Structure 1
Amino acid sequence: MQINKTQSPPILWVSNKLRSLPLIRGGLGRGKTRNLLLILPIILILAIASCTPQQNTSSKGDIVIGSKNFTEQVILGELLAQQIENTTQLKVKRRLNLGGTFICHKGLQSGQLDAYVEYTGTAFTAILNQKTITNPQQVYQQVKQEYAKKFNLAVTHPLGFNNTFAMIIRGSDAQRLQIKTLSEASKYTPQWQAGVGYEFLERADGFPGLAKTYNFKFAKPPQVMDLGLMYRALVNQKVDLVAGNSTDGQIQTLRLLVLKDDKNYFPPYQAVPVVRQETLQKYPQLQSAFNQLEGLISESDMRQMNYQVDGEFRKVEDVVREFLQSKSLSKTLT
């Protein structure tokens, strides 16, 4: 997506500048990267300095929808936008592909964004600075309560899928070895080569804790590689186990298997729209529009949409429109 800097609000200018930094290049995953934490002071300084409190720049739209800067987030931002346009008379301005968690969160706080989709685990750990817990409902409720109390933000109903880390193997290996869980896979790790992104290798809830929880004993250290290359390396048998995301589109198309986290090691990352309370008060019809999205998207649905954009190079707008039509949520103006 191309962005015209001359028409961008300050928060968008900040995100564009940050994306040009070497540490940011290559994407931010779910907004939880170690690289982002390393430059957090820069982000906060630029974001705060460039934002005018309570300023909404939606000169051509009633509602401003944002998103982080990776495919799934752009899809979800477009989904919010189309849902609002389909079910209300409100006009929507899109500010998609902005940046990571802190950029979007600051956008809400400053009033330059009205809503975007966040992940509960990210909100809980990165924004609220809480220690990881594994109960999805508990995480959701605490995020909802604290966001309302601290930021005057409404956390609406979960969209239905959980985009968490996923340990993935070849489907043929899973069938041959008759394994479906991480516990079952542990006895094969001495013969396997793991492939992980740098972030996963360093995270507190990443590889070190995973290996300890499941007693993984690899003969060699995990091979650190670019996230975009891991699946191809797995298919080509360069590695045997990779750390991806549960909604990655390549999982189904390459006939891979996500090993079940049977000890609930990974925290929940339910996708939830976050909206400014002030915006909901001004446009109460938004509540109904967002309520219709509750539980709408399965992990399989999200994988398919991600693949349609990344693998088939289809336009995000078309993919979202077809999805909403398939769920009978298109063009029902109120």
Structure 2
Amino acid sequence: MKKRDFILLCVLGFSLAMLIASCSVKPDNLIAIGSKNSTEQLILGELLAQHIEANTDLKVERKLNLGDTFVAHNALTNGEIDAYVEYSGTAFSAILKNEPISNPEEVYQLVKQKYDQNFNLEVMPPLGFSNTFALVIRGEDARKMRVQTISQIAPKTPLWRAGFADEFLDRKDGFTGLAKTYNLSFAEPPKVIDSRLIYTALKDKKVDLIAGNSTDGQIGRFDLAVLQDDRLFFPPYQAVPIIRQQTLQKHPELREVFQQLSGKISEAEMRRLNFQVEGEGSDVKQVVQQFLQSKGLKKK
């Protein structure tokens, strides 16, 4: 190879390397919002993205449907995303490896402290709802018996049939502890039902009580009733946005933007949003846009 060709090749190689490097650097006015892989998470990720776009000059890259808790958490800590919505009890138990506790404020403050110390992450104020395990019965039964709490139905369960997913039967914060706390017994051992079919089984009267998630869209779709956990057995799972401290330092205006969402979504509202997407087939972006407008949060 001639010396001139060699020099030209080196120059081209260097230029290509610089081009690749420049493409991998994220622009200063761009932040990435992520989510886990569920309908609710897609809605919450889109909600953060639209609210930021409407109230700042930042551009938002959506990295939604990343995967489970650990995938999303790792994406946040390694800088692949700047923020996503987590649940306080999941952060407390799954990420921080603590035994579940029932006090929502205590869980929130401990998660906030440890995420700051361990990961340089800021846990923002809760969005207003908790998506936890929930005992669910048919709405017609709840109205007929005039029951609202788990304690109220405990004396009736010896005549009932229960159905639970495998996970609920196996977890520490699942059936065994719940039955002990409320002295629950059933006409027969609880049936193991696929989580995708559990609401249909209740609606079709194959069982009389199930464990679901408190914000599932099927609850409203099938006219079901969530029983209040009046003895606070289930751990709190408050929805909380989590953001990289480095991102907040670069874009301090995001603090106020995230705080504007504090307490804005009730459990019933989250359930309705999930139903609009899952039950009615509505577009996630449109559902979020309409919700933000209804709350007076859509400025641009």
Same fold per TM (> 0.5)? yes
Q: Secondary structure at the match of 2:186?
A: coil
Q: Check if 1:324 corresponds to 2:284.
A: no
Contact in 2 for aligned 1:63/1:92 (Cα 8 Å): yes
Q: Check if 1:306 corresponds to 2:237.
A: no
In structure 2, what is the Cα distance between the partners aligned to 1:58 and 1:180? Answer: 51
Q: Residues 243 and 58 from structure 1, CA distance in 2 versus in 1: closer, same or farther, beyond 3 angstroms?
A: farther
In structure 1, what is the Cα distance between the partners aligned to 2:152 and 2:238? Answer: 26
Q: Secondary structure at the match of 1:219?
A: coil
- In the TM superposition, residue 58 of structure 1 has moved relative to its aligned partner by 4.6
Contact in 1 for aligned 2:102/2:235 (Cα 8 Å): yes
Q: Secondary structure at the match of 1:131?
A: coil
Q: Secondary structure at the match of 2:212?
A: strand
**Alignment partner of 2:255 out of 284, 287, 291:** 287
Unpaired runs of 5+ residues, structure 1, are 1-55
Identity %: 58
Q: Check if 1:297 corresponds to 2:269.
A: no
**Alignment partner of 1:202 out of 155, 170, 176:** 170
How many residues are treated as equivalent by the alignment?
A: 277
**Alignment partner of 1:219 out of 187, 203, 209:** 187
Q: Secondary structure at the match of 1:264?
A: coil
In structure 1, what is the Cα distance between the partners aligned to 2:188 and 2:112? Answer: 42
TM-score normalised by structure 2 residue count: 0.90
Specify the code of the residue in structure 2 equivalent to 1:286.
L
Structure 2 residue aligned with 1:228: 196
How well do the aligned residues superpose, as a CA RMSD in angstroms? 1.4
Instruction: Give the number of the structure whose alpha-carbon radius of gyration is greater.
Output: 2
**Alignment partner of 1:95 out of 41, 60, 63:** 63
- In the TM superposition, residue 243 of structure 1 has moved relative to its aligned partner by 0.4
Structure 2 residue aligned with 1:133: 101
- In the TM superposition, residue 255 of structure 1 has moved relative to its aligned partner by 1.6
| CA-to-aligned-CA distance 1:252-282 (integer Å, 9 cap, x gap) | 2322111111111001000000000000001
Structure 2 residue aligned with 1:17: none
**Alignment partner of 1:154 out of 119, 122, 134:** 122
In structure 2, what is the Cα distance between the partners aligned to 1:102 and 1:61? Answer: 27
Q: Check if 1:242 corresponds to 2:210.
A: yes
Structure 2 residue aligned with 1:170: 138
Q: Secondary structure at the match of 1:272?
A: strand
TM-score normalised by structure 1 residue count: 0.81
The structure 1 segments of at least 4 consecutive aligned residues displaced by more than 4 Å after TM superposition are 56-61
Q: Secondary structure at the match of 1:269?
A: coil
Specify the code of the residue in structure 2 equivalent to 1:157.
P
Unpaired runs of 5+ residues, structure 2, are 1-23
| CA-to-aligned-CA distance 1:224-265 (integer Å, 9 cap, x gap) | 112221111111100100101111112123221111111110
In structure 2, what is the Cα distance between the partners aligned to 1:89 and 1:155? Answer: 23
